[in-house]
Amino acid sequence: MLNIDAKYRNILPPLIGVALVFLLALLAPFITGHDPVHMSISERMAPPSMEHLLGQDNYGRDIFSRLLYGARVSIAVALFSALSAGILGITIGIIGGYFGGIAELITVRLADIILSFPPILLALLIVTILGPGVETLGLVLTILYMPGYARVAYGETLSMRQLEFVEAARALGSPTWRILALTILPNILGPLIVQFSLTVSSAVLIESGLSFLGLGVVPPDPSWGLMIREARAYMVYTPMPLLWPCIALTITVLAVNSLCDALRDFYDPRAVSTNFLANLAKTLIYAPIAKDYSQIDAQKAESALLSTSGLRTEFVTPKGRIRASNDVSFTVAPGETVALVGESGSGKTITGLSVLGLVPEPLGKMTSGQVALRSKSDEIICIEELDDEGLQQVRGDEIAMVFQEPMSSLNPVYPVGEQIAESLRYHRKISRPQALLTAVDLLESVGISDPAKRIKDYPHQMSGGMQQRVMIAMALSCSPSLIIADEPTTALDVTIQAQILELLRNIRNQENRSFGMLFITHNLGVVAEIADRVLVMYCGRIVESGPVSNLFRSPAHPYTKGLLASIPHIDHSSGDRQPLYAIPGTVPALDELPPGCAFAPRCNLAIEACVQELPELEVVGDGHWSRCPRWRELRG
Ligand code: SF4
């Protein structure tokens, strides 16, 4: 007995059904020796016989041959219109959903205009202008079905474009067309396959309906719709000539629907272990892309690996412009880990995204400041001066990012090995087998056992800790000079969190790695374990910065002091857990900040002068700065 994998068992019956229908249509001339348009008036409405298996119609034509030849027309029209409408609609929908703005206006809204026309009236209009015929039918159905695909692709892309794994693909430096084709499209194929099945079935029926109305296939050419139309007048006397095309229609529609359902399940990697569509897409689309740094203007060299100066990133909101990060200046030295700390809304993540040129446009934009990166070849790259292509080359290769949620940052439809190999193939221009071999080494280096086997795993087959190790392996793949880790341990439980921190520490201390790290977190406990220096952010500004030991021992800003007091700790003399401190009040909205110190409403040291004028950063110790003029009272 054949031992067939369950996923193939599910797809085989409908595949055989559809193949049979197609084969019968294709081989019609060899199966029946009758000409489908040959009339024999003397034998009209003759019953089935050995010569005419299904009998003859009202013109004496062989019903079986008309049924087989009719299938050719019906299936060809249905497939052509479903495919052409699909290609057009999906392209329009993805472009509109991904880019938004003017692209959305001229793509998806065009589809909406077509959708707003009554479909039959639109079909009648086109047939009246172009005249009936198979070609017109194909065009009519393409126009009618295109908006359906566009709406599905648009909606799915909208919900997908801000997901972490799309951000991660951008952070790896993938060009936009690769993100659309290899990241977004494979993830929205499920509903599109369903749409395709509905379209093919519906097109077969509509072709029959329009031919039935005399607006489709022109007699005497056979089609199922025409057969129904002609047999209708005689159905009271002989119902079978009407039933045969109806039965053929039903079987075809059921077979196509079942095949598309099975394909959708087959394609979903959460249900199966592999998929051929994604592999096919990758084989067809992947190609090495030349690297060109000619767009990059060098600026005066500095010793820092990363240096930001007066960085300001603004967002347009219904209440006006807000500054999510404002006048942010800091450096990261080679091999140094700098922690960016603050509550939600403090601007730390936006600062990290600004460094990578990943601020979500069009509502957000880095409006002033400079971000300079020392490349691996010791050139200074001005990030804010790069165009899209320059940014793509820097992302993943010079700067890599590790996101907070590994499950949503990894693309669910590709094995993890392929995802690690993607960045290597793009930036290193190496072959897929070479990239996969390197992926195995990388997985091993981040502590994943049996890496040769695990590269074939999909993200959902791994635990959260393993997924984050894969994200770290991806970040390390091109040996970047800077890694931005955005809350990489927040989504993990405490034990795994400690393991990931240990892993990051070990990797950073390896002799052959000298990357700097910008570690974004809200957790000062984590900072103590991993960072060399800390930048504390509040309402978009740095309010204190300094070496970890100095800042923890002797904080010089009330906000930092409040954050430190909020860390749970145990009194070692009594063994009792100390009560948790909470900073009073909440972070103010960015559009309602006072002109002076934004922390004033929550600060027990605030005086009138604090709300009048914004305090400047001042030196409070060795490499230690604070934006609070009352830092002495705080320490005293
Ligand atoms: S400047 Fe004034 S309000 Fe702001 S933290 Fe210092 S003391 Fe508090």
- Contact status, residue 538 vs residue 547, Cβ threshold 8 Å: no
pLDDT of residue 597: 94
Same domain, 343 and 394: yes
Same domain, 315 and 258: no
Same domain, 319 and 405: yes
Among 538, 553, 568, where does a domain finish? Answer: 553
pLDDT for residue 574 is more than 70: no
Q: Which of 602, 610, 627 to mutate to test the pocket of ligand 1 (most atoms within 8 A of CB)?
A: 610
Distance 546 CA to ligand 1 centre (A): 18
- Measured at the CA of 278, the angle between CA 353 and CA 432, to 5 degrees, comes to 75
Closest residue by Cα to residue 312 from 300, 299, 301, 322: 322
pLDDT in tens, 79-109: 888 899 999 989 988 888 888 777 777 777 7
Considering the domain boundaries, does residue 331 fall inside one? yes
Average pLDDT on 272-286 reads: 39
Q: Is the four-CA dihedral 184, 188, 190, 195 of positive or negative sign?
A: negative
pLDDT in tens, 419-452: 999 888 888 888 989 999 999 999 998 888 899 9
**Of 54-58, 154-158, 555-559, highest mean pLDDT:** 555-559
Q: Which two tokens stand for residue 356?
A: 């990578």
Among 211, 241, 268, where does a domain finish? Answer: 268
Secondary structure of 263-292 as H, E, C letters: HHHHHCCCCCCCCHHHHHHHHHHCCCCCCC
pLDDT for residue 285 is more than 50: no
pLDDT for residue 270 is more than 60: no
Average pLDDT on 328-351 reads: 91
Considering the domain boundaries, does residue 183 fall inside one? yes
Among the residue ranges 173-187, 434-448, 522-536, 570-584, the one predicted with the least confidence is 570-584
pLDDT for residue 250 is more than 80: yes
Q: Which residues of 564-584 are buried (b: 16+ CB within 10 A; e: fewer)?
A: bebbeeeeeeeeeeeeeeebe
Atom of ligand 1 nearest to the CA of 558: 5
Atom of ligand 1 nearest to the CA of 633: 7
Considering the domain boundaries, does residue 74 fall inside one? yes
Among 221, 242, 268, where does a domain finish? Answer: 268
Same domain, 340 and 240: no
C-alpha–C-alpha distance, residues 157 and 594, integer Å: 39
pLDDT of residue 362: 63
pLDDT for residue 75 is more than 90: no
pLDDT of residue 617: 93
C-alpha–C-alpha distance, residues 264 and 287, integer Å: 27
Distance 56 CA to ligand 1 centre (A): 96
**Of 50-59, 421-430, 492-501, highest mean pLDDT:** 421-430
pLDDT for residue 534 is more than 90: yes
Considering the domain boundaries, does residue 563 fall inside one? no
- Measured at the CA of 55, the angle between CA 51 and CA 61, to 5 degrees, comes to 90
* Better-predicted residue by pLDDT, 6 or 408: 408
pLDDT of residue 545: 95
Share of the chain above pLDDT 70, in %: 89
Q: What is the DSSP string of 279-325?
A: HHHHHHH--------TTPPP----S-SEEEEEEEEEEEETTEEEEEE
Q: Which of 537, 560, 605, 618 to mutate to test the pocket of ligand 1 (most atoms within 8 A of CB)?
A: 605
Closest residue by Cα to residue 37 from 9, 76, 73, 63: 63
pLDDT of residue 281: 39
pLDDT of residue 565: 87
- Residue 372: beta bridge partners? 307, 382
- Residue 518: beta bridge partners? 338, 484
pLDDT for residue 309 is more than 70: yes
The pTM score is 0.65
Among the residue ranges 218-222, 271-275, 431-435, the one predicted with the least confidence is 271-275
Among the residue ranges 127-141, 160-174, 459-473, the one predicted with the least confidence is 160-174
C-alpha–C-alpha distance, residues 227 and 213, integer Å: 12
Q: 391 lies in which domain range?
A: 306-413+458-553
Same domain, 409 and 516: yes
Distance 318 CA to ligand 1 centre (A): 30
Name the residue with tokens 């029926």. Answer: 205
Distance 599 CA to ligand 1 centre (A): 6
Nearest CA to ligand 1 atom 8: 606
Atom of ligand 1 nearest to the CA of 607: 2
Considering the domain boundaries, does residue 336 fall inside one? yes
pLDDT for residue 287 is more than 50: no
Confidence of residue 573 (pLDDT cuts 50, 70, 90): low
**Of 194-208, 257-271, 442-456, 536-550, highest mean pLDDT:** 536-550
Task: State the CATH number of the domain containing residue 190.
Answer: 1.10.3720.10
pLDDT for residue 294 is more than 50: no
Distance 632 CA to ligand 1 centre (A): 12
Same domain, 248 and 318: no
Same domain, 359 and 239: no
Among the residue ranges 106-120, 417-431, 459-473, 512-526, the one predicted with the least confidence is 106-120
Considering the domain boundaries, does residue 288 fall inside one? no
Going by the DSSP 8-state scheme, the letter that residue 357 receives in this structure is T
Atom of ligand 1 nearest to the CA of 609: 2
Share of the chain above pLDDT 90, in %: 22
Closest residue by Cα to residue 400 from 183, 180, 182, 170: 170
pLDDT in tens, 63-74: 888 888 888 877
Burial of 378 (0-12, 13-18, 19+ CB in 10 A): exposed
pLDDT in tens, 386-416: 888 888 889 888 999 888 888 778 888 789 9
Q: Which two tokens stand for residue 358?
A: 């990943």
C-alpha–C-alpha distance, residues 507 and 178, integer Å: 30
Q: Which of 628, 632, 635 to mutate to test the pocket of ligand 1 (most atoms within 8 A of CB)?
A: 628
* Better-predicted residue by pLDDT, 408 or 584: 584
Burial of 31 (0-12, 13-18, 19+ CB in 10 A): middle
Considering the domain boundaries, does residue 203 fall inside one? yes
* Better-predicted residue by pLDDT, 131 or 500: 500
Same domain, 10 and 142: yes
pLDDT for residue 601 is more than 50: yes
pLDDT of residue 283: 40
Considering the domain boundaries, does residue 48 fall inside one? yes
- Contact status, residue 207 vs residue 225, Cβ threshold 8 Å: yes
**Of 299-313, 342-356, 558-572, highest mean pLDDT:** 342-356
Task: State the CATH number of the domain containing residue 379.
Answer: 3.40.50.300
* Better-predicted residue by pLDDT, 246 or 107: 246
> Residue type at 459?
P
Q: Which of 597, 611, 617, 633 to mutate to test the pocket of ligand 1 (most atoms within 8 A of CB)?
A: 597
Q: Which two tokens stand for residue 45?
A: 């409405």
Distance 606 CA to ligand 1 centre (A): 5
Distance 597 CA to ligand 1 centre (A): 6
Same domain, 258 and 310: no
Distance 337 CA to ligand 1 centre (A): 28
Q: What is the DSSP string of 370-432?
A: EEEEE-TTS-EEEGGG--HHHHHHHBTTTEEEE-S-HHHHS-TTS-HHHHHHHHHHHHH---H
Q: What is the largest CA-CA distance in the chain?
A: 116
Name the residue with tokens 């071999």. Answer: 437
Closest residue by Cα to residue 228 from 206, 211, 252, 251: 211
- Residue 542: beta bridge partners? 537
pLDDT for residue 496 is more than 50: yes
Same domain, 473 and 522: yes
Tell me the pLDDT of the chain averaged across its residues. 81
- Residues within a 6 A CB radius of ligand 1: 557-558, 597, 599-600, 603, 605-606, 610, 615, 628-630
Going by the DSSP 8-state scheme, the letter that residue 3 receives in this structure is -
Confidence of residue 44 (pLDDT cuts 50, 70, 90): confident
Name the residue with tokens 């009998």. Answer: 55
- Order of strands across the sheet with 624-626? 399-402, 482-486, 516-521, 337-341, 533-538, 541-547, 624-626, 618-621
* Better-predicted residue by pLDDT, 301 or 118: 118
Same domain, 472 and 407: yes
Confidence of residue 4 (pLDDT cuts 50, 70, 90): low
Closest residue by Cα to residue 164 from 553, 603, 613, 488: 488
C-alpha–C-alpha distance, residues 337 and 628, integer Å: 25
**Of 130-134, 232-236, 254-258, 282-286, highest mean pLDDT:** 254-258
pLDDT for residue 371 is more than 90: yes
Among the residue ranges 257-266, 312-321, 502-511, the one predicted with the least confidence is 257-266
C-alpha–C-alpha distance, residues 413 and 519, integer Å: 29
pLDDT of residue 555: 94
For 401, phi and psi rounded to 5 degrees?
Answer: -125, 140
Number of domains making up the chain: 2
pLDDT of residue 339: 95
Cβ neighbours of residue 166 under 8 Å, at least 6 residues apart? 160, 179, 183, 184
Average pLDDT on 112-126 reads: 77
Distance 582 CA to ligand 1 centre (A): 17
Same domain, 218 and 310: no
Average pLDDT on 572-599 reads: 79
